[in-house]
Amino acid sequence: MTKVSQSAGNSSSNNNGNSTDIYNIVLLVVDIVMLIVKFWIAIVEAIVNLFRPAPLENVGGKVVLITGTGHGMGKHMAQQYAKLGATVICWDVNEQTNNQTVKEIQKSGGKAYGYTCNVTKREELVELAQKVRKEHGFVHVVVNNAGIMPCHPLLEHTENEIRLMYDINVLSHFWMIQSFLPDMVERNEGSIVALSSCAGLFGLINLVPYCGTKFAVRGYMAALAEELRHKNPQNNVKLTTIFPYMIDTGLCKNPRYRFPKLFKLISADTAAASIIEAQRQGLEEAAIPRHFVGVEKIGRLIPRKAMRLVNDFLDTGVDTDKL
């Protein structure tokens, strides 16, 4: 609306125009004041939370589904969730090692059920998800953990290797989320945990495609969090992205470090406990060790050339698995 048409019109529409303008300005001022107040409350809350860890959600009696439970962190998570009283649903492509995990849990008095599943096969995965929901009811926690890490220079990676890596490390997560998120959204509860990696925070040599998969996990989880919040401001479905540094599972075949005391391998048991803690606290992001998320943020503030000098000094990473 223009000033000319306003002054040319009758006086009543002129008054109306002015009062809507004033009304809109008042609304905008109220919005800005609210933003400033809430912004500072959020900052203070975040600072207080630094010193007061969030309470742990009770997982006793809940159903927890983990992929890749035949070995490594998946296996240790299955054991620890079972100890906390959860019913653990174990999925792995390796029937033998997965059976072993389930047997061990049952022997020590825990509740576990094993299913053989190659998570790259979407139709089988979706069917199995339906079966699990029918047999065990609402799945409260889904942990997208299964992953592979071929490790060599990019031009030595084969097409199949790269495709399989994306199928397992990224695409399978979408099939899992499509299978289990609708129930969670409907009940407005539950957690989805995704294993990214420090390779999802930093670019590393010999891990070019792998870094791509782990950055992808970080990216889709961040976007999904926004989507859930946008759809329901009271959203209570928790998303947790995990960024482990090198964990002693055998996945990382040739770790290299200049200062082993500073960057030592973390045991799979410790890492699993750390992931479960992050899920139960409802953290959106958690590195193992925890301070690595902060290290990445600070690293991004430092000019690239300066940061590379530090990286070269630390000389830490993984060597090719083709040695």
Ligand X SMILES: *[C@@H]1O[C@H](CO)[C@@H](O)[C@H](O)[C@H]1NC(C)=O
Ligand Y SMILES: NC(=O)c1ccc[n+]([C@@H]2O[C@H](COP(=O)([O-])OP(=O)(O)OC[C@H]3O[C@@H](n4cnc5c(N)ncnc54)[C@H](O)[C@@H]3O)[C@@H](O)[C@H]2O)c1
Tell me which residues touch ligand Y (CB under 6 A).
Answer: 67-68, 70-74, 92-94, 97, 117-120, 145-149, 168, 195, 197, 244, 246-247, 249-252
Q: Which is nearer to ligand Y, 94 or 281 (CB)?
A: 94
Q: Which does 96 bind (CB under 5 to 8 A by kind): ligand X, ligand Y, none?
A: ligand X
Q: Which is nearer to ligand X, 147 or 190 (CB)?
A: 147
- Side by side, the strands of the sheet bearing 285-288 are 111-116, 87-92, 63-67, 141-144, 191-195, 238-244, 285-288
236 binds ligand X (CB under 6 A): no
- The SS3 assignment for 242 reads strand
Q: Which is nearer to ligand Y, 110 or 244 (CB)?
A: 244
99 binds ligand X (CB under 6 A): yes
Q: Which is nearer to ligand X, 121 or 218 (CB)?
A: 121
Ramachandran class of 47: left when φ > 0, alpha when ψ lies in -120 to 50, beta otherwise: alpha
158 binds ligand X (CB under 6 A): no
Q: Which is nearer to ligand Y, 63 or 193 (CB)?
A: 193
Q: Cis (ω within 30 of 0) for the bond into 289?
A: yes
Identified catalytic residue from 210, 220, 245, 257: 210
97 is written with which tokens?
Answer: 């090692």
Q: Which does 145 bind (CB under 5 to 8 A by kind): ligand Y, ligand X, none?
A: ligand Y
Whether 218 contacts 239, CB under 8 Å: no
166 tagged catalytic: no
249 is written with which tokens?
Answer: 């599972």
- Rounded CA-CA distance 163/54 in Å is 39
Number of chain positions touching ligand X (CB under 6 A): 8
DSSP letter, residue 168: I
Judged on CB neighbours under 10 Å (0-12, 13-18, 19+), 162 is middle
Which of 17, 57, 93, 218 is the binder for ligand X (CB under 6 A)? Answer: 93
- Contacting range for ligand X; rule: CB under 6 A; set: 53-61, 116-124, 143-151, 291-299: 116-124
Q: How far is the CB of 176 from ligand X (least distance, A)?
A: 15
96 binds ligand X (CB under 6 A): yes
Whether 168 contacts 120, CB under 8 Å: yes
Catalytic positions are 210
